[in-house]
Amino acid sequence: EVEILLRHHNHPNIVSVRDVYENENLVYLVQEYLKGGELLDKIFREKFLSEREASNVMYVIANTLNYLHTNMVVHRDLKPSNILYADDSCAASSLRICDFGFAKQLRAENGLLMTPCYTANFVAPEVLKMQGYHAACDVWSLGVLMYTMLFGQTPFAVKPNESSEVVLSRIESGRLDLVNNNWNKISDSARDLLTNMLNPEPSKRCTASMILSHPWIKNRDQLSLKLLTNFLPQDINQTKNSVKATFRAVNSTTKIPILEPVECSTLAQRRVRAKSIVANQSKNEKEKNSPVNNSSLNKK
């Protein structure tokens, strides 16, 4: 996480790192203060959202994803709570993508990742099936975010009391809840992009670059300002509970990786072993060159 952030934190829509401190066991990141809060909380406060506003948000995030993917980095945990505003204006341009704890630098050989790290409602079907996956997962998560912005609910865990089996089955099959008052109100262009981003087949899913060239993004200044989503208090609670329901579904059937202490990581252990080897070599050299050893050799 530290290495990826230090390499890319100068991008205007990636959280910046002010300083890094570490001791024997822990690493501390000092990052910019994002006082505007989470993206969805801002939307909930305003209660209504238009296609143009949603498209402006999508443009900023897709543009940032395209930058990361071009640099062979995938985020792998692109949920709303990891997308925040830097200031109180809550302008789309002040959005920041945060929490790169699950981010991965892709291997250039095959471009696939074999270690599933995901978060509940924003997990792609191929991750659930424990298959290798790549940047298409971030696009899937962005599609879920777009759906939530336009419809005020998540596309899979619609009811908080749905069973884990139902939720998981829906995610794996890519079945969306299209029986929604707003589905027929949004433009054909929005529906086209949304279904492409949430395609359960990664190879058929659009890329971040394709999102940027899609008419719904390119012509965002011409999109309707008609307010779509009406976030009533009960809607807000249902949306939040919906996400929790998906968390429960995934947790009940799949072991979710946890972030272990830094010293337990493969890299940290490798460094410890390397230091130990160097230390032993140095010790051996000193013993070999010590006066005691030399005198004993001379006696022989």
List pLDDT tens digits, range 142-164.
Answer: 988 898 888 877 777 656 677 77
Per-residue pLDDT at 188: 92
User: Can you give the CATH number for the domain in which 238 is found?
Assistant: 1.10.510.10
Instruction: Let me know if 204 is exposed, middle or buried by CB neighbors in 10 A (0-12, 13-18, 19+).
Output: exposed
Per-residue pLDDT at 80: 80
pLDDT in tens, 2-50: 888 888 888 999 999 888 888 888 888 888 999 999 988 887 787 778 9
Residue span of the structural domain in which 99 resides: 36-253
Kindly state the percentage of the chain with pLDDT values over 90: 24
Per-residue pLDDT at 279: 56
Q: What is the mean pLDDT of residues 118-136?
A: 55
Where residue 183 falls among pLDDT bands split at 50, 70, 90? Answer: confident
Whether the predicted pLDDT of 278 surpasses 70: no
What tokens were used for 27?
A: 């690493």
Nearest to 256 by CA among 246, 264, 265: 246
Instruction: Let me know if 72 is exposed, middle or buried by CB neighbors in 10 A (0-12, 13-18, 19+).
Output: middle
* In-domain check, residue 189: yes
What tokens were used for 273?
A: 């072993």
* In-domain check, residue 288: no
Whether the predicted pLDDT of 134 surpasses 80: no
* In-domain check, residue 9: no
* In-domain check, residue 24: no
Per-residue pLDDT at 243: 62
What tokens were used for 269?
A: 């252990």
Where residue 256 falls among pLDDT bands split at 50, 70, 90? Answer: very low
**Longest Cα pair distance anywhere in the chain, in angstroms?**
97
Please count the structural domains in the chain: 1
Active site residues: 77, 79, 82, 99, 119
Per-residue pLDDT at 194: 92
Whether the predicted pLDDT of 191 surpasses 70: yes
CA distance 256 to 116: 8
Beta bridge partners of 19: 30
Q: What is the mean pLDDT of residues 227-235?
A: 69
Nearest to 27 by CA among 8, 45, 2, 56: 2
* In-domain check, residue 13: no
Helix (H, G, I), strand (E, B) or coil at 14: strand
Residues 6+ apart with CB under 8 A from 40: 80, 81, 148, 149, 239
Higher pLDDT, 200 or 190: 190
The pLDDT mean for the chain works out to 75
- Beta-carbon count within 10 A of 244 CB: 14
Element (H, E) at 18: strand 17-22
Q: Is the pTM of this model over 0.85?
A: no
Whether the predicted pLDDT of 218 surpasses 60: yes
CA distance 232 to 87: 25
